[in-house]
A and B are shown apart, each in its own frame.
Chain A
Amino acid sequence: MAEINETAVEEKVGLGKELLTLAKKNLRDYMMYIVLIVIIAFFTSRTDGKFITALNISNLFNQAAYVAVLAIGMTLILILRQIDLSVGYVAGFSGAIAAILLEKVGLPVGLVIPLVLIVGLLIGLYQGVLVTRVGVPAFVATLAGMFIFRGLLGVTTSKLGGTIVIKDEIFIALNNGFIPDFGGAHNVHIVTMIIGIIGACMVVYSQIKARRNKEKYNFKVVSLPIFITMLILISAVIMIIVTVLARWKGIPWSAVIVGVILLAYNFMLNKTKLGRYIYGIGGNDQAAELSGVNVKNVILFAFCSMGTLAALAGMLYSSRLSSATPSAGAAFEMDAIASSYIGGVAVSGGVGKVTNTIIGTLVIVSLTNGMNLMGVDTFMQYVVKGIIFILAVAFDVRTRRNG
C-alpha cells in the first residue's frame, strides 16, 4: 500500500486547521498534559484553592520526589520490555541501611549517601545478572527480589526495634529543605527567581535551536504563531510555578535532585549511543543484536541504574519521614510503573520519554495529594488511581493502533 500522503498538510492551510491537525496527530503526547491540568483544576476548585498554595506545591514536589526517581529508572526498564517489581522494597531496604549507617554506626552523611547508592547498584547488578546471564525472566527475578528485600527490610529494622529515627539534619534536608537564598530574609526568594528565569530562557533557546535545525534540513515545523504561543505558554507555566515557590521558601532540594537526574537521563536517552541502543532493543532486540548492539549489557545497565535510583528513592523517602520503618517501600513499584505508562511508555516497549514520565508522576502524585486534601479514604484512592491508570493505557493502546 502507498504511504499516507503527509504533504497533504501544508503550511498553506489556515491556522485553525493546522491547530486541529496538530491536535489530532499529537493527541497522545498532549493528553497527559490535559489530564494533569484537569486534575489540578479539579482539586483546586474542590479544596478552595488549597491545592495550589506554595505550601502544598512544595509538599507535592516532596511527595513526588521518590516516585519520580523510581519512575525515571522504570522508564528505561519498560522501554526495554523488562519489568522490576522489587524497586519498592529495594528502596525501603536502602532507606533502612542509610538510617542504620547514620544513626547506629555513626558514619558521616557524605559517606553514607554514596555507600547506599553502591548497595543499590549491587542489588541492581544482582538482578540484572539473573535476567541477562542466567536467563531468569525479569518478572520472576524481581518478584523474588520483592520477597527478599521485603524480608531483609523487616529483619534489619525489627532487630533495632522497628522504626529507626534519623536526626542528621543534612540528610533530612534532602527531601524537606529548600535551596538557600542570598543572606537575610526577603519577600521573594531571589535564587529561585533567577533559576526560574534561566530555566525558562534555556527552554526557549533549546526550542528555537531545534526549530532552526529542522528548518535547515527542510523538515516540517509548526507555523510561527503556534510556535510562539507554545513558547509563551511553556515559559508562563515555569514562571508561575517558580513565582509561587519563590514567595514562600523557594525551590525544594528534592526538586533539584529530581531535576538533575531528569536532565541526565534525558540527555543519555536522546543524545548518546546507549540511549539509541535502549530504544532499539525495545523496538526489536534481535535486530539490535544483529546490528552489533550488546543487548545483554544494555539490559544489565538498565537494572543497575534502576537499583541505584531505587536506593536514592529510599533515602529520599526516609529523609522525608526522618526515619526508616519496616513498612517503607510498600507499593512504590505500582506508582513508578503507573507513572511511566501514564507518561506514554508503550506497553509493547521501544517508546517512551523520561520527561513525559515526570508528567505521569505528577498526575499520580497530584491524585494522591489532592485526594488526601479532600479526605478521601486511602483504599478508595487506589481505586481512583487504578481507573486513571487503565484509562491512560487503554487510550495509549488505541491511539497507537490507529496512528
Chain B
Amino acid sequence: MSDFILEMKNITKTFPGVRALDNVNFSVKRGEIHCLVGENGAGKSTLMKVLSGVYGYGTYEGDIVYNGEVQHFKGIADSEAKGIGIIYQELALIPELSVYENIFFGHEIVKGKVIDWNETIKRASEVLKKVRLDVDPSTKVKNFGVGTQQLIEIAKALSKDVKLLILDEPTASLNEDDSENLLKLIKELKNQGVTCIMISHKLREVIEIADTLTVLRDGATICSLDATKDKITEAEIIKHMVGREINNIYPVRQEKKIGDVVFEVKDWTVEDPKKGREILHHVDLKVRKGEIVGLQGLMGAGRTEFALSVFGNTPGYKITSGEVFMDGKQVRPKSPRQAINEGIAYVSEDRKGNGLILIQDIKYNNTIANLDALIDKVVINENEEINVGNYYKDSINIKAPSIEQKVGNLSGGNQQKVQLAKWMFVHPKVLILDEPTRGIDVGAKYEIYTLMNRLVEEGMSIIMISSELPEVLGMSDRLYVMSEGTITGELTREEATEEKVMALAIKGTKER
C-alpha cells in the first residue's frame, strides 16, 4: 500500500465550451497538509468538487484512488461516508440554530426515533474541545463572528470522523488573529492524523503551513513542490501561478501629486440601535486630493460600519455626533444617493451580497449608479449606455465576451472590476474601497492596484479598507489604524511597519 491517502489520476472534466480540468494529477500523502494554489479559474474548486462527488462519477474522466481503492462517488454523501469532509468558502451554518444543533445537523444522534439531545451536547462539547473553541454549545451561531463560525464548521466536519479535510479558502474572510488561530488548529489536526487539503490565495500562509504544494493553472497541474525539503518563496509560487514573473506586487505610482484636504470627518460617533451600544467613537479622519489612505484594523474594528455610516447610513445607525466635510463645506448625506451627489462612492466588500446585481449584465451594472448621465428627458439612451459599457470594459480590461454578459458568470476579479467601473462612471471625489482584493487572484490584484494608482493620479482620492496588512502597507500614502471603533493611530507610509500597525490594531483590545 502506498503512503498516499488520495491519488487523482488524469482527471479531465469538461463543461459545454470549456475544458475546466485537463489531465490533472493530484496526489496527497497521508497525514500531510497539502496546499492547492492557482489563479481564479485555474480549476481548484472544480477539482475539489470532482473529489467530493458534487460532480459525480461518470461526469469526468480519470480515476480517484482513495485509500488504495478506486472510488465512484455519486454525491457528497458517498465521499462523506468514506471520511472526506469539505468546508466551503461560504459558510453553511444555520444562524438561528445553536452550535450543537449545527454540528450534528444532517447526522443527528438518535435514540430510537427521537434525537438524543443530551448525548448531542456532550459530543458537541468534545469536538469543540478538539478545535480549541471554548464556547457554550447552546449559543446560537449567529452570535459568533466568522472566525468562530469557521471553527464550528471544522468541528462539524470532525464530528463526522473525517480523515481527509478540504478547506476552500478558509482564511479569506478572517482577520490576522483568527487566521493565525486557524492555521495553528490545522497543524494540530495534522498531528491527530487528519490529512488536510487547503486552497488559499494567501501565499504567506501557504508557505507557513504547507508540506506539499500543488499549483494549478488553466486546468492543468503545473507542478508539485515538496515544502519540507526546499524553501519555497512567494515569487516562485507566483511565477508558477501566472506563468510569468511579477516583480512588483505593488505597482509604483509614476508621479505623486497630493493636494489639499478633500474629505474630512470629525468627531464621528455612531450607535447601533440593534446592538444597543456605541460602535464608533469620535473618529477623526481626513483625505487629501490624490491620496490613497489606508484604513487598517482587525475584523470587527468598525471600518465597514464607518464607511456605511458616512455613505448615507443605510444600516440605520444613530449618528450621535460628528461632521463630514467635502472641500471644506459641511455635508450630511442621509442616503447613498445624497452621498453620491456629494462626491462619495463606496465599493462594497461583499460584491455578490450587496455590490453587484448578478442576474444583470455588465452594462447594466456599470451604469446603475449614474443613470442620470444617460437620460434624454425621461428615456435612457441605450446607445450611450453601450458606449459607456464598452469604454470601461476596454479601459480597465474586464475580461468577458461582451458587455451583455451576466455579471454572475464572471470570475471574482472581473466582478470586482465591474464594481470599480460602476463607481468610476459616477466620477466621485472620494472612493471608499472596502476589501478591494478579497478573494481575487494575484494577476487581478495587480490590475486593481494599477487602477487605483491611475485613479489617484487623475485626482481622485481613495480610502482603502483592507485586512491584508502587506496590501495596506504597499499601497497607502498614509494610514489610519482602527480598533474597536476608535482610531488608535495614524502613520505615514515611511513610519508604517507591520509590527507598528499590528500593535495599534490590537491596542484597544488590551487596554480594556
Chain A interface (Cβ within 8 Å of chain B)?
A: 1-8, 213, 216-217, 219, 271-273, 276, 279-280, 283-284, 286-294, 350-351
10 more contacts with CB within 8 A, not counting A4-B15, A273-B375, A291-B368, are A4-B18, A213-B382, A217-B383, A279-B364, A287-B348, A289-B354, A290-B314, A291-B422, A294-B337, A351-B359
Q: How far is the CB of B439 from chain A (nearest CB, A)?
A: 14
Cβ B379 vs Cβ A271 within 8 A:
yes
Contacts of B360 in A (CB 8 A): 279-280, 283, 350
Across chains A and B, the number of contacting residue pairs, with CB separation under 8 Å, is 110
> Which secondary structure dominates where chain B touches chain A?
mixed
Cβ B359 vs Cβ A4 within 8 A:
no
Complex CA gap A283/B355 in Å reads 11
Contacts of B41 in A (CB 8 A): 1-2
Pick from B18, B368, B411: contact of A5, CB below 8 A: B18
Cβ A294 vs Cβ B354 within 8 A:
no
Cβ A272 vs Cβ B379 within 8 A:
yes
Complex CA gap A289/B356 in Å reads 11
Select the stretch in B89-97, B135-143, B400-408 that faces chain A.
B400-408
Contacts of B379 in A (CB 8 A): 271-272
Sample 20 A-B pairs with CB under 8 A, ordered by A number. Answer: A1-B15, A1-B20, A1-B46, A2-B18, A4-B16, A5-B17, A271-B378, A271-B380, A272-B380, A279-B357, A280-B357, A286-B314, A287-B354, A288-B357, A290-B354, A292-B336, A292-B340, A294-B337, A350-B359, A350-B360
Q: How far is the CB of B435 from chain A (nearest CB, A)?
A: 15
Complex CA gap A28/B348 in Å reads 33
B358 proximal to A (CB < 8 A)? yes
Cβ A276 vs Cβ B380 within 8 A:
yes
B497 proximal to A (CB < 8 A)? no
Contacts of B371 in A (CB 8 A): 273, 276
Complex CA gap A379/B121 in Å reads 52
- A1 with B45, Cβ < 8 A, contacts A292-B337, A292-B340 known: yes
Complex CA gap A7/B368 in Å reads 27
Contacts of B98 in A (CB 8 A): none
Cβ B357 vs Cβ A350 within 8 A:
yes
B492 proximal to A (CB < 8 A)? no
Q: How far is the CB of B103 from chain A (nearest CB, A)?
A: 30
Complex CA gap A321/B352 in Å reads 51
B185 proximal to A (CB < 8 A)? no
CB-nearest residue of chain A relative to B374? A273
B192 proximal to A (CB < 8 A)? no
- A276 with B364, Cβ < 8 A, contacts A3-B409, A350-B357 known: yes
- A290 with B355, Cβ < 8 A, contacts A3-B401, A279-B360, A283-B360 known: yes
Contacts of B368 in A (CB 8 A): 276, 280, 288, 291, 293
Q: How far is the CB of A287 from chain B (nearest CB, A)?
A: 5
Complex CA gap A293/B369 in Å reads 8
Cβ A292 vs Cβ B401 within 8 A:
no
Contacts of A1 in B (CB 8 A): 15, 18, 20, 41, 43, 45-46, 411
Contacts of A6 in B (CB 8 A): 17, 401
Q: How far is the CB of B412 from chain A (nearest CB, A)?
A: 11
Contacts of A271 in B (CB 8 A): 378-380, 382
Cβ A284 vs Cβ B45 within 8 A:
no
CB-nearest residue of chain A relative to B375? A273
B335 proximal to A (CB < 8 A)? yes
Contacts of B382 in A (CB 8 A): 213, 271
Cβ A217 vs Cβ B348 within 8 A:
no
Complex CA gap A286/B355 in Å reads 8
B346 proximal to A (CB < 8 A)? yes
CB-nearest residue of chain A relative to B351? A287
Contacts of B335 in A (CB 8 A): 292, 294
B455 proximal to A (CB < 8 A)? no
Pick from A2, A219, A272, A284: contact of B357, CB below 8 A: A284
B410 proximal to A (CB < 8 A)? yes
CB-nearest residue of chain A relative to B19? A2
Q: How far is the CB of A180 from chain B (nearest CB, A)?
A: 32
Q: How far is the CB of A386 from chain B (nearest CB, A)?
A: 28
Contacts of A216 in B (CB 8 A): 383
CB-nearest residue of chain B relative to A7? B401
CB-nearest residue of chain B relative to A350? B359
B353 proximal to A (CB < 8 A)? yes
Q: How far is the CB of A400 from chain B (nearest CB, A)?
A: 9
Cβ A290 vs Cβ B348 within 8 A:
yes
B232-283 at interface with A (beta carbon < 8 Å): none
Q: How far is the CB of B418 from chain A (nearest CB, A)?
A: 11
Interface centre among B340, B353, B369 (most CB of A within 10 A): B369
CB-nearest residue of chain B relative to A4? B17
Complex CA gap A217/B422 in Å reads 21
Complex CA gap A54/B167 in Å reads 67
Cβ A8 vs Cβ B17 within 8 A:
yes
Contacts of A283 in B (CB 8 A): 357-360
CB-nearest residue of chain B relative to A351? B359
CB-nearest residue of chain B relative to A3? B409
B386 proximal to A (CB < 8 A)? yes
Complex CA gap A294/B372 in Å reads 14
Contacts of A287 in B (CB 8 A): 348, 353-357
Complex CA gap A3/B371 in Å reads 28
Complex CA gap A292/B428 in Å reads 13
Contacts of B46 in A (CB 8 A): 1
Complex CA gap A351/B422 in Å reads 21
Complex CA gap A2/B372 in Å reads 34
Bitwise, B132-163 to A at CB < 8 A (1) or not (0) is 00000000000000000000000000000000
Q: How far is the CB of B338 from chain A (nearest CB, A)?
A: 8
CB-nearest residue of chain A relative to B18? A2
Cβ B354 vs Cβ A2 within 8 A:
no
Q: How far is the CB of B410 from chain A (nearest CB, A)?
A: 7
CB-nearest residue of chain A relative to B370? A292
Cβ A213 vs Cβ B383 within 8 A:
yes
Bitwise, B400-442 to A at CB < 8 A (1) or not (0) is 1110110001110000000000100000000000000000000
Contacts of B400 in A (CB 8 A): 3
CB-nearest residue of chain A relative to B367? A276
Pick from A3, A213, A276, A280: contact of B405, CB below 8 A: A3
Contacts of A280 in B (CB 8 A): 357, 360, 364, 368
CB-nearest residue of chain A relative to B386? A217
CB-nearest residue of chain A relative to B336? A292
Complex CA gap A283/B352 in Å reads 11
Contacts of B17 in A (CB 8 A): 4-6, 8
